[in-house]
Amino acid sequence: MSMIKKVGVLTSGGDAPGMNAAIRAVVRAAIHNNLEVVGIRRGYKGMIDGDFIPLVSKDVSNIIQRGGTILGTARSEEFRTVEGRRKAYGNLVGANINACIVIGGDGSFQGAGIFSKEYDIPFVGVPGTIDNDLYGTDYTIGYDTALNTVVEAVDRIRDTASAHDRMFFIEVMGRGAGFIALHSGIACGAEAILIPEVDGQEEALHEYLKSQGNKSSNIILVAEGNNVGGAEQIANQIMVKYPEYDVRVNVLGHMQRGGSPSAFDRFLASRLGVASIDALIDNQRSIMVGFVNHDIVHVPFNKTINASKNLNKILLDVADILAH
What would the DSSP string read from start to end of 259-317?
SPPPHHHHHHHHHHHHHHHHHHHTT--SEEEEEETTEEEEEEHHHHHHSPPPP-HHHHH
Q: Quick one: 45 and 13 in the same domain?
A: yes
The domain that holds 194 is classified in CATH as 3.40.50.460
pLDDT band at 47 (very low <50, low <70, confident <90, very high): very high
pLDDT band at 216 (very low <50, low <70, confident <90, very high): low
Q: Which domain holds residue 169?
A: 143-257
Rounded-to-integer distance, Cα 235 and Cα 83, Å = 47
Specify if 225 maps to a domain.
yes
The domain that holds 55 is classified in CATH as 3.40.50.450
Number of domains within the chain: 2
3-state DSSP assignment of residue 212:
coil
Residue in 9, 18, 73, 17 with CA at minimum distance from that of residue 38: 9
DSSP 199: S
Asked if residue 213 has pLDDT above 70, the reply is no
Q: Quick one: 50 and 63 in the same domain?
A: yes
Residue 317 annotated in active site: no
Q: What is the mean pLDDT of residues 244-253?
A: 93
- pTM as predicted: 0.94
pLDDT of 215: 62
- Write out the E strands in the chain: 6-11, 36-40, 52-55, 99-104, 123-127, 166-172, 192-194, 218-223, 246-251, 287-292, 295-300
Q: What is the mean pLDDT of residues 305-323?
A: 91
Q: Quick one: 173 and 28 in the same domain?
A: no
Specify if 1 maps to a domain.
no
Q: Quick one: 15 and 38 in the same domain?
A: yes
253: number of Cβ within 10 Å: 11
> Identity (one letter) of the amino acid at 210?
K
Specify if 79 maps to a domain.
yes
Asked if residue 207 has pLDDT above 90, the reply is no
Q: What is the mean pLDDT of residues 46-53?
A: 97
Residues 61, 62, 66, 68, CA torsion sign: negative
Rounded-to-integer distance, Cα 119 and Cα 10, Å = 18
Give pLDDT tens digits for 255-305.
999 999 999 999 999 999 999 999 999 999 999 999 999 999 999 999 999
Q: Quick one: 241 and 193 in the same domain?
A: yes
pLDDT band at 86 (very low <50, low <70, confident <90, very high): very high
pLDDT band at 217 (very low <50, low <70, confident <90, very high): confident
- Write out the E strands in 177-217: 192-194
Specify if 312 maps to a domain.
no
Q: Quick one: 159 and 195 in the same domain?
A: yes
**Do residues 32 and 90 make contact, with C-beta atoms less than 8 angstroms apart?**
no
For residues 128-155, one letter each, b for 16 or more C-beta atoms within 10 angstroms of the residue's C-beta and e for the rest, the string is bbbbbbbbbbbbbbbbbbbbbbbbebbe
Specify if 319 maps to a domain.
no
- Quick one: what percent of the chain has pLDDT higher than 90? 85
3-state DSSP assignment of residue 223:
strand
Q: Quick one: 185 and 287 in the same domain?
A: no
Specify if 204 maps to a domain.
yes
Which of 198, 230, 257 is the endpoint of a domain? 257
Which of 219, 237, 257 is the endpoint of a domain? 257
Task: Give the pairing of strands 295-300 and 99-104.
Answer: unpaired
Which of 257, 283, 318 is the endpoint of a domain? 257
CA distances from 311 to 65, 183, 256 (A): 29, 10, 20
Residue in 8, 44, 22, 56 with CA at minimum distance from that of residue 269: 22
Give pLDDT tens digits for 98-142.
999 999 999 999 999 999 999 989 999 999 999 999 999 999 999
pLDDT of 228: 85
Q: What is the mean pLDDT of residues 19-48?
A: 98
Q: Quick one: 269 and 128 in the same domain?
A: yes
Specify if 186 maps to a domain.
yes
Residue in 245, 118, 263, 124 with CA at minimum distance from that of residue 191: 245
Residues near 191 by beta carbon (within 8 Å), at least 6 away in sequence: 208, 218, 219, 220, 323
Specify if 164 maps to a domain.
yes
Q: Quick one: 137 and 36 in the same domain?
A: yes
**Do residues 54 and 168 make contact, with C-beta atoms less than 8 angstroms apart?**
no
Q: Which of 106, 131, 133, 144 is catalytic?
A: 131
Asked if residue 214 has pLDDT above 80, the reply is no
Q: Quick one: 215 and 271 in the same domain?
A: no
Q: Quick one: 40 and 108 in the same domain?
A: yes
Q: Quick one: 34 and 132 in the same domain?
A: yes
DSSP 60: G
pLDDT of 1: 45
